Amino acid sequence: MGMRGRRHTAQEISAKLHQADQMAREGKLQLEIVQSLGVSVMTYHRWRKARQAQQATMATPRTGNGQDLSRLSELELQNSRLRRLAADILLEKLQLEDSLKVP
């Protein structure tokens, strides 16, 4: 009989994921880990995915105002201009090399 319908608190989930990480470092198999935690494989994967998403969200810098986004747009525009300029210069170089090869 499973633990269907049981809810875990955020603290319990965090503690169980920490325990699971430790067991994984010790070389335990996933099946052993979930059995020890008393959860299903799907629950374990859902918890891990949620933790990864939370960590990614926390790592994303927050913008206090539109200045950061404006600066990013400005840099993207400058980057695209520089890429076009570099491509033009490369094409010109290739044309010059071809013209030197022709007898």
Q: 61 is written with which tokens?
A: 């810098």
Calculate the average pLDDT of the chain: 86
The DSSP letter of residue 60 is S
Low-confidence ranges of the chain (pLDDT < 50): 1
Question: What is the reported pLDDT for 37?
Answer: 94
Q: Residues 13-34: pLDDT tens digits?
A: 999 999 999 999 999 999 999 9
d(CA 18, CA 41): 16
pTM: 0.52
Q: What are phi and psi of 41, to 5 degrees?
A: -60, -40
Burial of 28: CB neighbours in 10 Å, binned 0-12, 13-18, 19+? middle
At residue 10, the 3 state secondary structure works out as helix
d(CA 59, CA 53): 10
CA gyration radius for the chain? 27
Are 68 and 32 in contact by the 8 Å Cβ rule? The answer is: no
Question: What is the reported pLDDT for 13?
Answer: 93
